Amino acid sequence: MKNATSTRRLRAFVVEDELPTRNYLVELLQASGHADVVGAVAGLEEARQALSVASREIDVAFVDVQLVHGDQAGLMLVRSLAGAPSAPTFVLATAFKEHAVEAFNLGVADYLLKPFTEERVEQCLERLLARCPASDAARPLRIVARRGKSLVFLEPDEVWAFEASERMASVHSPHGVFDLDLSLSAIEISLGRAFTRVHRNWLVNSAFIKELGREGNETRVFVGSGLGPDGRGVRVPVARERAPSLREMLLATATGLRRG
């Protein structure tokens, strides 16, 4: 997919209960160069809370019609919020054609049919950008995570690291550890060079790397604030093949060590 030459990017939110489909749509949106995905959830209540509480942080919400909570649950969500002064733009992303007429009567901006394609997603985003004021499309990206039934919003420069575990991901920060619904790859695309992949299961904020060392046969970094017994943070394993380049990257922006 080609990247956009414009610096304008929409802040997108995805509501999709199937993990592979959710991650694929997130990857398509990110790869377009037209959007940053600020959150992705599977559940109706999580979506309702995010779209009610954080509507100003979201430009467009891509919503599946059928969700695990019930028949046409996604469409019901759009019905309940569409037209509200603070509601984002909605795009229905679904496998069902028959709801298109009602969707457009509700003011939905577009109707994406599964299986999604790069060209169709890019076309949708270009249409949305054409109708979106520049000032609205340039607001800074934040990270939305979950703590139980609540949503937590973090600035990227507050985050120490992201961790993938089985089919879940979590974010480590001074405020605690919270759950995410995005894959590590999608997060890496969203946040760019400020975060470094040090292991297939770990993405770290380079600014918070305080220590690089070895524990037995394993290289680890301490990512957090402070050092010593009172330091808060997390110890992260570094993949063997990534350790040399990580060391060089850290030394390239530091002084005080004799290199030879």
CATH 2.40.50.1020 domain locations along the chain: 148-252
Q: Give residue 99's Cα distance to chain centre.
A: 28
- Is residue 148's pLDDT more than 60? yes
pLDDT at 139 exceeding the cut of 70: no
Whole-number pLDDT of residue 135:
44
Nearest partner of 180 among 154, 141, 145, judged by Cα = 145
Query: Who contacts 73 (Cβ-Cβ below 8 Å, separation ≥6)?
Result: 44, 66, 67
Q: Is 201 exposed, middle or buried (0-12, 13-18, 19+ CB in 10 A)?
A: middle
pLDDT tens by residue, 8-47: 788 899 999 888 899 899 999 988 989 988 888 888 888 8
Model confidence pLDDT, tens digit, residues 174-206: 999 999 887 777 777 667 667 889 998 999 999
Tell me what pLDDT residue 203 has.
94
Q: How far apart are CA 172 and CA 60, in angstroms?
A: 27
- CATH top-level class of 148-252: mainly beta
More confident residue, 204 or 88: 204
d(CA 39, CA 57): 10
d(CA 64, CA 228): 48
Q: How confident is the model at residue 3 (pLDDT cuts 50, 70, 90)?
A: very low
Kind plus residue range of the DSSP H or E element containing 179: strand 176-180
Domain 10-138: assigned CATH number: 3.40.50.2300
Average pLDDT in the 140-145 region?
A: 77
Question: What are residue 116's phi and psi, to 5 degrees?
Answer: -70, 150
Answer whether 79's CB lies under 8 Å from 59's CB: no
Assign 3-state DSSP to the chain and report helix, strand, coil percentages, each to 5. Answer: 30, 35, 35
Burial of 105 from C-beta contacts in 10 A (0-12 / 13-18 / 19+): exposed
Phi, psi for residue 232 in degrees, rounded to 5: -105, 135
Pairing of strands 110-113, 176-180: unpaired
Nearest to 10 by CA among 49, 37, 50: 37
Mean pLDDT across the chain: 83
- Percent above pLDDT 70 for the chain: 88
- State the pLDDT at residue 5: 41
Task: Tell me the mean pLDDT in the region 198-215.
Answer: 92
Question: Where in the chain is CATH 3.40.50.2300?
Answer: 10-138
69: three-class secondary structure by DSSP: coil
Whether pLDDT at 237 is above 80? yes
pTM (two decimals): 0.58
The mean-pLDDT minimum among 87-91, 111-115, 136-140 falls in 136-140
Question: What gap in Å lies between CA 84 and CA 12, rounded to an integer?
Answer: 18
For the CA atoms of 239, 244, 247, 250, the dihedral, rounded to the nearest 10 degrees, stands at -100
Lowest model confidence (mean pLDDT) among 8-12, 54-58, 156-160: 54-58
Give residue 259's pLDDT: 64
Q: Provide mean pLDDT across the span 34-63.
A: 81
The reported pLDDT for the residue numbered 54 is: 60
Instruction: Evaluate the omega torsion of the peptide bond into residue 140 and state whether it is cis, within 30 degrees of 0.
Output: no
